[in-house]
């Protein structure tokens, strides 16, 4: 059976409807790495990275975009097993509220974005820093980007390492990503997605546990890890939610405007 990745299937048995593309199950929520990646070096060189935990352990990554707000993926939210803690360096904060993108569609897998409000601001330091978001152009096919997180190192791993890992991934043309050899329009990869993975020779990918973490191109956060079909498969690359279309939404709601459904 294809690996289940979405957090709303928090059992070792998942329905056929969600098993193909979800990045997370509770079984794989512990520890973590990146497919064919390496430990982030020097330590704390990505001080904006957040680790999200439920009462049963780590489950997703995120990006600190302001002292009180973390950006992650909407599919990381689960009503019956909520994210309780957000870990940033040695600082731990409680997750106070969650704001999903109003147009998030779990079936079409579009707008897979969510904001988490922390119970109190983090203290900025050398190991905890905010990563501002900027509106950037859609990355061209062939662009080398970086993805980081605490996800599995392979499809069979039950437990990964406890260190932050990163790997370079290559942006793949939208037409190619929708082709029969790749996702075959199941789901349709839109301009709201970024398809990125292997350069065709080396295996490189995000995996279970990396959901919600950032995709960085030329130093800018351009995407959020969303979904994929197994890990490290050359023709089933990772798919990321493209941020530039949503920077206004993020800025408005992270400033406290209550116009979106909070859960």
**Residue 101 falls in the annotated catalytic set:** no
Distance, in Å, from the CA atom of 78 to the CA atom of 118, rounded to the nearest integer, reads: 17
Cα–Cα distance between 243 and 42 in angstroms, integer?
Answer: 27
Among 66, 75, 166, 210, the one annotated catalytic: 75
165 burial level (CB within 10 Å; 0-12, 13-18, 19+): buried
- What is the SS3 assignment for 59? strand
Assess whether 112 carries a catalytic annotation: yes
Q: Catalytic residue at 211?
A: yes
Element (H, E) at 16: helix 16-19
Residue 212 CB partners (closer than 8 Å, separation 6+): 52, 60, 61, 62, 71, 72, 73, 76, 114, 224, 225
Spot the catalytic one: 9, 20, 22, 112.
112
Q: Which of 22, 66, 206, 211 is catalytic?
A: 211
Closest to 142 (Cα-Cα) out of 168, 170, 179, 182? 170
Query: Which residues are the active-site residues?
Result: 75, 112, 211
């Amino acid at each position: 059976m294809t690996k289940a990745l979405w957090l709303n299937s928090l059992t070792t048995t998942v329905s056929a409807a969600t098993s193909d593309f979800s990045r997370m199950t509770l079984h794989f929520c512990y520890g973590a790495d990146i497919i064919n990646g390496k430990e982030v070096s020097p330590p704390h060189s990505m001080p904006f990275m957040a680790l999200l935990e439920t009462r049963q352990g780590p489950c997703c990554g995120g990006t600190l975009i302001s002292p009180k707000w973390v950006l992650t993926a909407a599919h990381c939210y689960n009503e019956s097993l909520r994210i309780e803690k957000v870990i940033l360096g040695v600082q731990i904060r409680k997750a106070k509220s969650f704001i999903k993108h109003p147009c998030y569609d779990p079936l079409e897998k579009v707008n897979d974005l969510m904001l988490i409000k922390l119970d109190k601001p983090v203290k900025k330091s050398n190991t905890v820093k905010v990563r501002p978001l900027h509106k950037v152009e859609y990355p061209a096919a062939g662009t080398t980007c970086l993805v980081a997180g605490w996800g599995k190192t392979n499809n069979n791993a039950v437990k990964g390492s406890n260190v932050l890992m990163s790997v370079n991934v290559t942006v793949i043309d939208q037409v190619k990503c929708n082709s029969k050899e790749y996702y075959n329009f199941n789901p349709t990869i839109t301009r709201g997605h970024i398809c990125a993975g292997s350069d065709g020779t080396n295996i490189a990918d995000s995996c279970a546990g990396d959901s919600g973490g950032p995709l960085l191109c030329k130093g800018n956060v351009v995407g959020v890890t969303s979904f994929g079909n197994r890990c490290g498969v050359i023709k089933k690359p990772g798919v990321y939610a493209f941020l530039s279309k949503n920077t206004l939404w993020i800025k408005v709601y992270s400033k406290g405007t209550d116009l979106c459904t909070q859960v």
